[in-house]
Structure 1
Amino acid sequence: MESYDLIFDTTANSRDVSDQVVTPEQTLAPSIHLEGTPSSIATPMRVLNDEKAVANTTSREKMCECLAVHGIKTTDKSNYLKQYLICIFQTHVLLTYRTRSRKAWLARGQKNASNQVIRVASEEQGREVRRVRTLAIRALYALGLDYGLVRVAVQEGNQLAIMDVNPAPKLNKEMESAYIQAVREYVCQIPHAAVDLKRVTLGADPEFMMRHSNGRLVMASKYFPRRGRVGCDAIWHGQNRMKKPLVELRPEPTTDPRELVIRLYRGMMMATRRVSESNIQWLAGALPHHQFPLGGHIHFSGITLNFKLLRALDHYLALPMVLVEDRRGIGRRPKYGFLGDFRPQFHGGFEYRTLPSWLISPTLSKGVLAAGQLIAARYPELTATDLVDVSVQKAYYEGQKEELQDRAVRLWEELTLLPEYKTYKNYLDSLASYLFSGTTWDESKDFRISWKLPPYRR
């Protein structure tokens, strides 16, 4: 598919942009190259819909293969009760359309019924609509695209599946206006996308679980309230919703990674006063218990969320962390820990949810938070596009350390070239030494030992 050039101009009007990125056939250009951007802006920021990513959609077989790697279900066009058409630009749903519900017998071959498409109001937030929009964004991201039209099928049992992803959809006037406005806004954001480190505020809610020395799972809800600086996560154990096994640390946000680690430590000290038994182990990582995956969620605010930022975090944080991950952690993915996993937050920022719980050690915690702030602040200058390759995505989900080793080293070397790297050089160098040491963390080990939290046993 042909790519289109768009002259970088923050003052361009809608007609100027439309003339450059809408084809004579009234379709959206499958790929857009921004010409004339500031020299500090790296290629990933200057390209919308990388041609290699567009190639992932050129055949249904390729598309389904890629989505399957991410754990995303697909279906053909005959097996659905109704469908949604979602117009997406990066993390934003621009427009939502829906076919009228079809009777089950229509899905079994009857073709003479009306299948009218209606517009769904942007304000509609029913559970089905929210699930559909979330899945559509995830599918677009998984394919390496920045914009496109995603068709989502609603099947029997309220199951969702991707029918198609089109990077160059046919446009009606409403769609054209929405996409052109989104492109204009993106162009206007570029000069301000890279920010000073202290513009990026960090928060976190890493999880851990507790296990008795006899192997029995210890419920967090026995010791901690639902809310608070140290509380239990909403997930429950078995049929009893009151039994919650996961502990969350929720420190106050700050612009200083070191201070955030100090606040995390204070939270852990609070927790030790509630759980003082030495025969209860505290476990972190990805999957120390086969039923309960753990996350090391990082909250960012002070910056604009987009796919380019998420892909930078995936490349420069998620991929290198695979090198030290306990092998059992592979089972967390792709249901959890999938690439580009994010959640908008009420404060206007977002939560990056891909990483496992990095409470394994102070070295890992300090390094991950410092690297997260560095990447978030300077991502427009970073060049990696490795994850457009489905084989690299597969290596991440399968924990193929050997396949990712050289890539991770190269990615980290690029981070060291950023002038801001020196701000947290001690933390980042220590993290790099750990990541490339050839060792792996042990998720069965009490992490209180590495944090020197009382009481602990070696």
Structure 2
Amino acid sequence: MPNIIMLHRNNQAGQKLVNLLSESIKELKHKDSYILGIPFIEISISTENSIKRTLNSEASIKNCMERETMSQMLELSGISFGQRAGETIIKYYDVLIFDMNTISIRVRGKDSTSKYIKEADSGKVAEIARKTIYVMGLDYGMVTIALTGKRKIRVMDIFDSPELRKKDMNALVNKIVLLTNQGYPRINPDNEIKMGADPEFMLFNARSGKMIAASDFFPREGIIGCDNIRVPNRQQRPVAEVRPNPATSPRELTDNIKSALSSANKLAPYRNVCWVAGSHPLSGYSIGGHIHFSNIVINFALLRALDNYLGIIVFLIEDPASASRRRKKYGHLADIRLKPYGGFEYRTLGSWLITPEITCAILCLAKIVAEHYFELSNVYLNDTEALQAFYQGNQEHFRPLFSKIWKEISRTTTFNDYREELKVIPAMIENKVTWDEGLDLKVTWKIEGRSRKNYSANKNKSAVIANRSSARQRSNTNRSRSSRPSSSRTNSSPIHNTRIQP
């Protein structure tokens, strides 16, 4: 059985690709194939490593054969497709992508002149091209992007098998040879994948139902801080962010989150202040549960596994109405941010802080997917209907797929390590239970030391400022030494009755 299969149109570039790959890869075979009557070459490569990969699947190529399908899939994903009536085009960009990597960018002007530029000179264009290739299900291709007179960026066309200049063809061959030889390398093969997180939550007054800004209690930096979003026309920052110490164990990371929440309670020790999580727990504000990964190389295969085996599972337990409101602006599929330490942040999920059991289960699932993504290769989000269901919160579209997805996950060697923690997920999905965004995190996480004092913005202002200053000093001190994680992960039920309606 071949480890890598690649489909390429039987054009001049396809023939050249086969010839060059044959010079570097001994175990390579190719044969003629047809997709909707169009001749293709199916390239098969056998390797000694565990990699299994299809580059440009038949389904993804079919997606790119219909402009209506391209338009629908891209627009659902927040990418503008096609020129609008009356728009003028200033220039075009032809961006060649292979597996998250930008191989080249060619700029074409009105006068038919063209030149190649560096990715650093047009990072936004490269980012949109990468996302376009991903959304269509491709692993490799060229995206033509237009810049309009009003500085709008539009995707104009997608080519799954473009003709290439010699330099780009050689770069493509080198990428495929590297994938064949290395498989899915770790940055440091001797170290485990490390995970971190910065899930968000919001605060409100239990009596009035009004939102209370996180910046009323928490400093900007530290294990508990404020997100950068501000209240319109004010300096207040409404969203609180938990920044626990990272860990290789999802159980330890959950403990670190509880430790951080306990620190938050010292800064906001008021019984009438409720903490809530989810996707859109308070009107006008969306929050997320971002998960960080390091010591692993990001590629389209990993990203697709996260979307299809983590994103869909969380989609089936989140509040669908709240999640669909969030996804009008945040939480698109494949939403990642590269980090300066060499890892990346997966930003698709809403804030899963609802209960410690849900938190730990999702972090355990994330660890399994990251460790075994080369085994979790099925794609369930590769057509217009699936994307529409995801962004509109239609859980019934994916519910019939759950048993198949869960069976694939349960076959991984790491699954048994987290079997107990993961039980809450099938229990919720099979019983059609979704998380409750009205639950107070201080109750569900059993945060000790809850005060009987009530918070009043004017009355408690000086105490809050003093607490924030003290927290900032502790944060600066803790940066120079590692914090020992808490070992008091709670075992309360994932579904609680203590709910306060905002």
TM-score range, shorter chain: 0.7 to 0.9
Alpha-carbon deviation of 1:2? 6.0
Give the 3-state SS of the residue equivalent to 2:89 in structure 1.
coil
Are 1:439 and 2:425 an aligned pair?
no
Change (3 A) 1:40 1:119: closer
Separation of aligned partners in 2, 1:140 and 1:191: 20
Q: State which of 46, 49, 59 in structure 2 corresponds to 1:36.
A: 46
Deviations 1:388-429 (A, max 9, x none): 233222221121111111212210121111122111111112
- State the one-letter code of the partner of 1:271: A
Structure with higher Rg: it is 2
How far apart in 2 are the matches of 1:197 and 1:206? Answer: 29
Tell me, yes or no, if the aligned pair for 1:198 and 1:255 is still in contact at 8 Å.
Answer: no
The CA distance in 2 between the partners of 1:85 and 1:3, in whole Å, is: 19
Work out whether residues 69 and 384 of structure 2, in 8 Å CA contact, stay in contact via their aligned partners in 1: no
> Residue 458 of structure 2 corresponds to which residue in structure 1?
none
Q: CA deviation at 1:145?
A: 0.8
* Secondary structure in structure 1 of the residue aligned to 2:258: helix
1:372 and 1:195 mapped to 2: Cα distance? 19
- Backbone CA RMSD of aligned residues: 2.9
Give distance in 1, aligned partners of 2:255 and 2:70: 45
Of 337, 343, 365 in structure 2, the residue corresponding to residue 343 of structure 1 is 337
Q: Distance in 2 between matches of 1:97 and 1:207?
A: 40
Pick closer, same or farther for the CA change 1:432–1:115 going to 2, 3 Å: same
Alignment of 1:63 onto 2:70: yes
Unpaired runs of at least 5, structure 2: 1-5, 15-19, 33-38, 452-497
SS at match of 2:381: helix
For residue 355 of structure 1, report the CA deviation from its aligned partner. Answer: 0.8
Give the SS at the match of 1:178: helix
Partner of 1:245: 238
Tell me the CA shift for residue 227 of structure 1. 1.6
Question: Residues 79 and 180 from structure 1, CA distance in 2 versus in 1: closer, same or farther, beyond 3 angstroms?
Answer: farther
Please give the per-residue CA displacement for 1:27-82, whole angstroms capped at 9, x wherever unaligned.
Answer: xx9786543245954xxx42101110111110211211111221211123974222
Which residue of structure 2 aligns with residue 299 of structure 1? 292
- 1:122 is displaced (CA, Å) by 3.7
Q: Distance in 2 between matches of 1:348 and 1:115?
A: 39
Aligned to 2:413: 419
Amino acid at match of 2:108: T
Q: TM-score, normalised by structure 2?
A: 0.78
Deviation at 1:15, TM superposition (A): 4.5
* Contact 1:84 1:151 (C-alpha < 8 Å) held by counterparts: yes
Deviation digits for residues 251-308 of structure 1 (CA, Å, limit 9, x no counterpart): 1211111111111111101111111122222111111134221111111111111110
Q: What residue is the counterpart of 2:3 in the other structure?
A: none
Q: Does 1:225 align with 2:235?
A: no
- Larger mean Cα displacement after TM superposition, 267-276 or 223-232: 223-232
Tell me the distance in 2 between the aligned counterparts of 1:30 and 1:87. Answer: 20
Q: Which moved more, 1:72-81 or 1:299-308?
A: 72-81
Amino acid at match of 1:445: L
The match for 2:132 is 139
Paired position in structure 1 for 2:423: 429
1:274 corresponding residue in structure 2: 267
Conservation of the 8 A alpha-carbon contact between 1:297 and 1:357 = yes
Q: Aligned pair 1:118/2:115, yes or no?
A: yes
Q: Is the 8 A contact 1:30 1:54 kept in 2?
A: no
Matched-pair contact (CA < 8 Å) for 1:194–1:379: no
Looking at structure 2, the residues matched to 346 and 338 of structure 1 have their Cα atoms a distance apart, in angstroms, of 22
Counterpart CA distance in 2 for 1:304 and 1:253 is 18
- Could you tell me whether the CA contact under 8 Å between 1:196 and 1:377 is conserved in 2? no
1:329 corresponds to which of 323, 344, 349 = 323
Alpha-carbon spacing, 1:135–1:123, altered in 2? closer, same or farther (3 Å): closer
2:47 and 2:181 in contact (8 A); partners too:
no
Cα distance in structure 2, aligned partners of 1:349 and 1:254: 13
In structure 1, give the amino acid aligned to 2:45. E
Residues 274-423 of structure 1 correspond to what in structure 2 (within 5 A)?
274-326=267-319, 327-423=321-417
194, 198, 204: which one pairs with 1:205? 198
In 1, are the aligned partners of 2:194 and 2:295 still within 8 Å (CA)? yes
- The offset of 1:206, in angstroms, is 0.7
The answer for the alignment partner of 1:103 in structure 2 is none
SS at match of 1:285: coil
- Cα deviation for residue 346 of structure 1 reads 0.9
- The percentage of aligned residue pairs carrying the same residue is 32
Where does structure 1 lack aligned partners over 5 or more consecutive residues? 7-11, 24-28, 101-112
Task: Give me the whole-angstrom Cα distance separating, in 2, the residues matched to 1:231 and 1:49.
Answer: 42
For 1:386, what is the secondary structure of its paired residue? coil
Compared CA separation, residues 2 and 197, structure 1 to 2 (3 A): closer
SS, match of residue 371 in structure 2: helix
* Separation in structure 2 between the aligned mates of residue 30 and residue 167 of structure 1, nearest angstrom: 11
- 2:166 pairs with one of 166, 173, 180: 173
1:229 positional shift: 1.3
Distance (Å, rounded) in 1 between the aligned partners of 2:190 and 2:283 = 38
**Is the aligned partner of 1:83 residue 2:81?**
no
Report the number of matched residues.
427
